[in-house]
Amino acid sequence: MEMEKDFDEWNKLKKKTNDENPRYYKVQEIWWCRFGINIGTEQDGRGDNFLRPALILCGFGHGACLVVPLTTSTREHPLRVSVGVVNGRAARANISQMRVIDTRRLVEKIGLLQRETFAHIRKSIRDLF
């Protein structure tokens, strides 16, 4: 059974997020990101701030970037690539959920992914196409 999604609370926070300034980021960084509440199987954020860790794959200037959300799910799948330990938990890049976001969704930098792991994730993405 699917949990009830609180779109109204997310919309309140989304309005506040819209009023914030863009964030400065670098490719290969991992950030807490306000993913919010989404539709169906789209990756949601969690907690009061609707957060989920995200890896920055590519930048599009100061206002937008391509990210891939991270998950702690242990389910094996070719589109879930291990990134190691993030914030004390084993994490995987959920490649099927990558998307462009406005940098105002970025809340706090968690860390920087190792170069070799980042290259492996980018290769996995290229292999999709």
List, for residues 25-39, the tens digit of each pLDDT value: 999 999 999 998 887
Complete domains list, the chain, with CATH: 7-128 (2.30.30.110)
Model pLDDT for residues 2-27, shown as the tens digit of each residue: 568 888 889 999 999 999 999 999 99
Q: Is the pTM of this model over 0.85?
A: yes
Cβ density class 103-123: b for 16+ within 10 Å, e for less: bbbbbeebeebeeebbebbbe
